[in-house]
Amino acid sequence: MYGTAWKKERTTELVVKAVLAGFKGVDTACQPKHYREELVGKAISELETKHSIPRASLWIQTKYTPIGGQDMTKPLPYDPKSTIEEQVKSSVETSLRQLNVDYLDGLLLHSPIPTVELLIGACRYRAEPLVGGEWLGLGKSFWTLSGNPGLLKSPPVLQFAKRHGMTVEQILFKFCQSIGITPLSGTTNEQHMKEDVEVETSANLAAFEVEALEAALRRAGAQSN
């Protein structure tokens, strides 16, 4: 999955390059502070018109960002005084307009909602068929390289990278996939895009390697706490 945060005016160019390199999913957010959804939309149109890659072949997901994650000096995608249900609805409608698509494959909750009552309210807004796949990200998890610095330099990652002739980043992404997690890459480098996509078709890690990486992950987590 290609992550589009912090790409600013390079968003369109990089999303097009990532999809041409083989990424099948694009992750964005209705959060102007860090994402340019309208430029992701421009990339989706460009992929269809210039490269014959239809929107339906891509997994497009965005996020409802609670007010604490929004920049109050920028136009908000919803009225913060409205109910949470109305906020999610307005956020989804804004995303559809900015992305210039008629449905989303996934909608994620960008950050925790303060109370269970508010969470229930957010989930109450159902927009099928506008959101075809994951709803408010309750069933899927994502991982990033920068979120796992300890694991990335751990001995088993270094050892397995050498054994498989892969980079440490590729081993970490392969490990994510082995345990059912979708890796998110936001690389701006075309060689890295290629390497990230190659992970999908690379040989599976052995069961003992996955176990060793799980143990390293627990150790890295314990050290960072």
Ligand X SMILES: NC(=O)c1ccc[n+]([C@@H]2O[C@H](COP(=O)([O-])OP(=O)(O)OC[C@H]3O[C@@H](n4cnc5c(N)ncnc54)[C@H](OP(=O)(O)O)[C@@H]3O)[C@@H](O)[C@H]2O)c1
Q: Is 187 in the site for ligand X (CB under 6 A)?
A: yes
Q: CB under 6 A: which stretch of 36-44, 133-141, 192-200, 207-215 binds ligand X?
A: 192-200
Answer yes or no whether residue 201 interacts with ligand X by CB under 6 A: no
What does the buried/exposed string (b/e) look like for 88-120 if buried means 16 or more CB atoms within 10 Å of the residue's CB? bbbbbebbbebbebebbbbbbbbeebeeeebbe
Rounded least distance, CB 20 to ligand X, Å: 16
Of 105 and 195, the one with the shorter C-beta distance to ligand X is 195
Cβ proximity to ligand X: between 6 and 120 the closer is 6
Residues 9-38 binding ligand X (CB under 6 A) are 27
Residue 82 within binding range of ligand X, rule CB under 6 A: no
Q: Who contacts 38 (Cβ-Cβ below 8 Å, separation ≥6)?
A: 98, 99
Contact region with ligand X (CB under 6 A), list: 37-45, 52-60, 92-100, 138-146 = 138-146
Does 199 contact ligand X by CB under 6 A?
Answer: no
Name the residue nearer to ligand X (CB basis): 121 or 181.
181
Select the residue interacting with ligand X from 45, 192, 198, 220 (CB under 6 A): 192
* DSSP one-letter string for the chain: -EE-TT-GGGHHHHHHHHHHHT--EEE--S-TTT--HHHHHHHHHHHHHHH---GGGSEEEEEEPPGGGS-TTS--SS-TTS-HHHHHHHHHHHHHHHHT-S-EEEEEE-S--SSHHHHHHHHH---TTSEEEEETTSS--EE-STT-HHHHTSHHHHHHHHHHT--HHHHHHHHHHHTT-EE-B----HHHHHHHHHGGGSPPPPHHHHHHHHHHHHHHHHHH-
Asked if 189 touches ligand X (CB under 6 A), the answer is: yes
- Assess 146 for contact with ligand X (CB under 6 A): yes
Q: Which of 111, 115, 188, 204 binds ligand X (CB under 6 A)?
A: 188
Instruction: Provide the 10 A C-beta neighbour count for residue 223.
Output: 9
Q: Does 73 bind ligand X (CB under 6 A)?
A: no
Q: Which stretch binds ligand X (CB under 6 A): 37-45, 76-84, 140-148, 210-218?
A: 140-148
**Contact stretch for ligand X (CB under 6 A) within 2-10, 43-51, 82-90, 208-216:** 2-10
Question: Total number of residues binding ligand X (CB under 6 A)?
Answer: 19
Q: Which residues bind ligand X (CB under 6 A)?
A: 3-5, 27, 144-147, 167, 169, 184-189, 192, 195-196
